[in-house]
Amino acid sequence: MMRWRIAEDYAAVVIFRLLLAAIILFLIVPIGVAVILSFDDREFIGAFPPTRFSLRWYRAFLQNPNYLDGLVVSLKLGLAATMISIVAGAGAAIALAESQWRGRDVVETLFLSPKFVPTVVIGFSILGFASAIHVFDAFTRLVMGHVVITIPFTVRATLASLVGIPRSLGEAAVSLGATPWRAFVDITLPLARTGIIAGGLMAFVLSFDEVAVSLFLTDAFTQTLPIALVAEMRANLNLTVAAISTVLATLSVIIVLILDCAAGLDNVIGRGMYRG
Amino acid sequence: MSALQRALLAPGLLILVGLVIAPIALMAVESFRPFVGGRVGAAGGWTFENYTELIAPAYAFYFWDTFRIGFIVSAAAVGLSTPLAWQAARTRLRIVRVSIFGLLISLLFLSLIAKLYAIQMTWGPSGPLAFFGALIGVPVRSPGYAEVLVFIGLLHFVLPLAALMLIGTFQNINPRLEEAASSLGAPRWRVAMSVTLPLALPGLLSTFMIVFAMCISNFVVPLILGRGVILFTTNLMYTRFSDVANYPSGAAIGVIMLVLSCSMVYAIAGMARRVAQGRG
């Protein structure tokens, strides 16, 4: 009986480990393939694996004005949208966290709601609205769209960082003679700092990778990097995209390493209630 | 409410009203306008035609594809992220835990386009895993393989998110319960099936719903991997606008998608509330 149970447990563990390995491979292998292909020396996309290696696709990336212009637009757009959504979102979150009035919860839900609106709907509706109010500049339209998709993240991250901080701290400062503005700058803002930074980071990453909203709002002269990449991938597959993907993958690993050094990944996720 | 709070709230409210509410209201109005070829913007008169024409089988098909693929992918994502999440939540080794976190978060930060490109190059016609198509009886070069690619792409996109959500679920199940079942003689698979899974059920369900909502509102995956064979409602909406310049019809699809996604969120919130009450 006992021996049977040990065999059963052993089989269960083996099957579980195999499944786990398969899932991790499913997630990692494609990224690895793209990274290896980005160093391929061949002119065309041939059988995997490549036989000779070079940096030609990285040079192609650096020499292609389409991608570089796209990169510049994406960076500018990401920064603009992030700044606006930090000012508007973090401000709103602080005001919401510090006050209790009727309808407060409704306003909070409204601020988080763009997250649940399909991104195509956001792009489509802003396009119609922009033409109705005679905004035809692509960059302005893009900023409008990207602010909408990023604002729930700055609001939410700031709100989360203010949970559990007693409102009385700011009130104490005011009763000791500080102006409300001074209390805001010296007390509330520093307390909300981690949330504001985290929300801003998420907002930038989200904006930098956005396709659906941008596709509606770009024009022939103002293209973001993702839009240029999508156009390239739909027209013909070439390995420049592999080089760019590798750069992006490296960046995301660097972000995670910084996150781990700064806060510890364990703390970012939380350990749950049954673990010390 | 103090003057300062009002000043802090104002820019956000302005953005909400100006960039979310007004555009969507305008879109809703447009969806009842008749389509006049070649013009964007208001034409005279009102009509329901933009909605009624979507019931035609040719269009209903897009909705069916979207929901069918979304459902299968969500089920697969919950099923496959469970072992990963459980392992991360229960392991005694810090290195295993942090490695799984690192993998999932890096994937979350990685550009979706880079991921889809990687999948195309790996599972596509010239990729090292192209034999998979023949294995399941859908040759790589056949049109049916587009659906396989969309499936793989969506799964790769939502799996890390599902796993991160489920890690929270498993962390909040008391491991003592599993240990107790074990020490009373239950083999491991029985512990998993009759103790862990039932306790995790609310978390599994809400993860499924969130992942499902993300799948059916996805746009990029079918755009890039669907080869024009698999189109989601989101892609249909874009084509209505970009190819035929039929703004009212696109607006009607947008309104339907908005209603669907709102009801989904409402259902998720309701479920979460019931679970919270059941525990409280």
The mean pLDDT of A193-201, rounded to a whole number, is: 86
- Nearest CB among B16, B112, B185 relative to A209 is that of B112
pLDDT class of B280 with cuts at 50, 70, 90 = very low
In which band, very low, low, confident or very high, does the pLDDT at B24 lie, cut at 50, 70 and 90? very high
Q: Kind and range of the H or E element at A22? A: helix A2-37
Over residues B37-45, the mean pLDDT reads 62
Residue of B nearest to A215 (CA): B238
Q: Could you tell me if A128 lies within 8 Å of chain B, comparing CB atoms?
A: yes
- In this prediction, residue B138 carries a pLDDT of 86
- Tell me the per-residue pLDDT of A63-96, one tens digit each, with 9 for 90 and over: 888 889 999 999 999 999 999 999 999 999 988 8
Could you identify the residue written with the tokens 């364990």?
Answer: A266
Average pLDDT over residues B3-14: 89
B41 pLDDT tier (thresholds 50, 70, 90): low
Which tokens go with B50? 């933009």
A105-116, pLDDT tens digit by residue? 888 888 988 888
Residue A263 predicted with pLDDT over 80:
no
Least Cα separation, residue B105 to chain A (angstroms): 7
The domain that holds A81 is classified in CATH as 1.10.3720.10
pLDDT band at A268 (very low <50, low <70, confident <90, very high): low
Is A37 part of the contact surface with chain B (CB cutoff 8 Å)? Answer: yes
Helix, strand, coil share (%) of chain A residues, nearest 5: 75, 0, 20
Tell whether B199 is within 8 A of chain A (Cβ): no
* DSSP 8-state assignment for residue B195: I
What is residue B55's DSSP assignment? G
Q: Do B114 and A151 touch (CB under 8 A)?
A: no
Alpha-carbon distance of A146 to A78, in angstroms, equals 8
| pLDDT given at position B5 | 84
Partner residue opposite B121 with nearest CB, options A33, A88, A126: A33
Residues of chain A contacting B122 with CB distance shorter than 8 Å: 29-30, 33-34
Q: Please give the average per-residue pLDDT across A202-213, as a whole number.
A: 92
**Given the structure tokens 């998420």, which residue do they identify?**
A202
pLDDT of the residue at B13: 92
At residue B154, what are phi and psi to the nearest 5 degrees?
-65, -40
Under a CB-based contact definition with an 8 Å cutoff, are residues A115 and A152 in contact? yes
Q: How far is A54 from chain B (nearest CA, A)?
A: 18
pLDDT at residue B267, as a whole number: 83
What's the mean pLDDT in A195-214?
Answer: 90
Q: Is residue A130 part of a domain?
A: yes
Buried b (16+ CB within 10 A) or exposed e, A193-222: eebbbbbbbbbbbbbbbbbbbbbbbbeeeb
For range B11-32, the mean pLDDT: 92
CA distance A89 to A108: 11
The one-letter code for the residue type at A145 is G
Predicted TM-score (pTM) of this structure: 0.88
The answer to the question of residue A248 being in a domain is: no
Q: Give the rounded distance of the alpha carbon of B206 from its chain centre.
A: 12
Res. B194: pLDDT tops 50: yes
Mean pLDDT of B78-97: 90
Q: Coil, strand or helix: which one is A40?
A: strand
The answer to whether residue A52 is domain-embedded is no
User: Are B20 and A237 within 8 A, CB to CB?
Assistant: no
> How many independent structural domains does chain A possess?
1
Would A111 be classed as within a structural domain? yes
Searching chain A, which residue's CA lies closest to the CA of residue B125? A47
Q: Is residue A148 part of a domain?
A: yes
Q: Tell me the per-residue pLDDT of B199-235, one tens digit each, with 9 for 90 and over.
A: 888 889 889 988 998 899 899 999 999 888 888 989 9
Task: Choose the weakest-confidence range: B16-25, B156-165, B269-278.
Answer: B269-278
The reply to whether B277 touches chain A by the CB within 8 Å rule is no
Closest Cβ opposite residue A116 in set B19, B110, B262 = B262
CA A6 – CA A4 distance, rounded (Å): 5
From the number of C-beta atoms within 10 Å of its C-beta (0-12, 13-18, 19+), residue B93 rates as exposed
* Mean pLDDT on B14-20: 93
B227 CB-near residues (< 8 Å, 6+ apart): B143, B146, B149
Q: Using N-to-C axis directions, what is the helix angle for B112-123 and A240-262, rounded to 10°? A: 130
CB-based contact, A203 to chain B, within 8 Å:
no
Contact B170, B200 (CB under 8 A): yes
- pLDDT 10s digits, B103-135: 999 998 899 999 999 999 999 888 888 888 888
* pLDDT score recorded for residue A210: 92
Q: What is the average pLDDT score of chain A?
A: 87
- What's the pLDDT band for B159 if we cut at 50, 70, 90? very high
Domains of chain B: 48-279 (1.10.3720.10)
- Beta-carbon contacts of A273 under 8 Å, excluding residues fewer than 6 positions away, are B171, B172
Q: Among all chains, which residue has been given the structure tokens 């040759």? A: B139
Percent of chain A with pLDDT over 70: 95
The answer to whether A44 contacts chain B (CB < 8 Å) is no
Please check whether residue A210 lies inside any domain of the structure: yes
Q: What is the Cα Rg of chain B in Å?
A: 23
Asked if the structure places residue A273 within a domain, the reply is no
Rounded Cα gap, residues B99 and B97, in angstroms: 5
Question: How far apart are alpha carbons A80 and A84 in whole angstroms?
Answer: 6
Higher pLDDT, B1 or B55: B55
Q: Which of A256-265, B8-17, B20-29 has the lowest mean pLDDT?
A: A256-265
* Model confidence at B176: pLDDT above 80: yes
Q: Is the pLDDT of residue B39 over 70?
A: no
B99 in contact with chain A, both atoms CB, cutoff 8 A: no
What is the amino acid identity at position B196?
T
* B268 against B103, higher pLDDT: B103
Query: CA A131 → CA A23, A134, A135, B259, distances in Å?
Result: 46, 5, 6, 24
- The whole-angstrom distance between B148's CA and the closest CA on chain A is 14
A31-35, A43-47, A236-240, A272-276: the lowest-pLDDT one: A272-276
What average pLDDT does the segment A254-273 reach? 76
Q: Which residue of A has its CA nearest to B170?
A: A272
Position A119 scores a pLDDT of: 92
Would you say residue A124 lies in a domain?
yes
Range of the domain at A104: 66-241
All residues of chain A having their beta carbon less than 8 Å from the beta carbon of residue B87 are: 20
